[in-house]
């Protein structure tokens, strides 16, 4: 039996990742520039909030795109299944290959019109000269 796991929605996951990235970059840049601790933390918190908002908006857009694609694929699958059901005909075991019943006389006429390998070789030699 498959284990049921709780999934985090796309907007919240994108917002959390973006907020953490903004916060950590802000902390590293603040420490590298020798700013006071209060300035580094205040700017990092502002970056965290801004990153969360931007990430949440990006996550909403991604969530909308995923749902639209799922709907499009499901509609196409329904249309394909409806078309296949509508096109089913009793074929009596045929596999979709059309059998053409030709008389032997017509087969001989078509073989006379085909070039042999020797004729092709002679024509190439003639064109090369």
Lowest mean pLDDT among 48-52, 66-70, 96-100: 96-100
> Which two three-digit tokens encode residue 13?
């996951």
Task: Confirm if 21 and 48 have CB atoms less than 8 A apart.
Answer: no
Check whether 30 has a pLDDT greater than 60. Answer: yes
> What is the reported pLDDT for 93?
55
CA 118 to chain centre: 50
How far apart CA 123 and CA 37 sit, in angstroms, is 89
Lowest mean pLDDT among 27-36, 45-54, 75-84: 75-84
Check whether 46 has a pLDDT greater than 90. Answer: yes
Check whether 111 has a pLDDT greater than 80. Answer: no
The predicted model gives 89-102 an average pLDDT of 57
Check whether 127 has a pLDDT greater than 80. Answer: no
Q: Output 97 or 120, whichever has higher pLDDT.
A: 120
- Distances 86 to 35, 78, 79, 89 between C-alpha atoms, Å: 72, 12, 10, 8
Q: Output 90 or 100, whichever has higher pLDDT.
A: 100
């Amino acid at each position: 039996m498959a284990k049921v796991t709780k999934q985090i929605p796309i907007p919240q996951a994108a917002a959390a990742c973006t907020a953490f990235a903004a916060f950590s970059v802000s902390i590293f840049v603040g420490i590298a520039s020798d700013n006071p601790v209060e300035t580094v933390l205040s700017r990092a918190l502002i970056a965290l909030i801004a990153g969360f908002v931007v990430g949440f908006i990006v996550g909403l857009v991604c969530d909308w795109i995923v749902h639209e694609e799922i709907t499009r694929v499901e509609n196409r699958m329904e249309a394909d299944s409806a078309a296949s059901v509508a096109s089913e005909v009793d074929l009596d075991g045929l596999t979709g290959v059309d059998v053409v019943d030709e008389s032997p006389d017509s087969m001989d006429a078509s073989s006379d019109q085909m070039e042999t390998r020797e004729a092709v070789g002679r024509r190439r030699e003639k064109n090369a000269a």
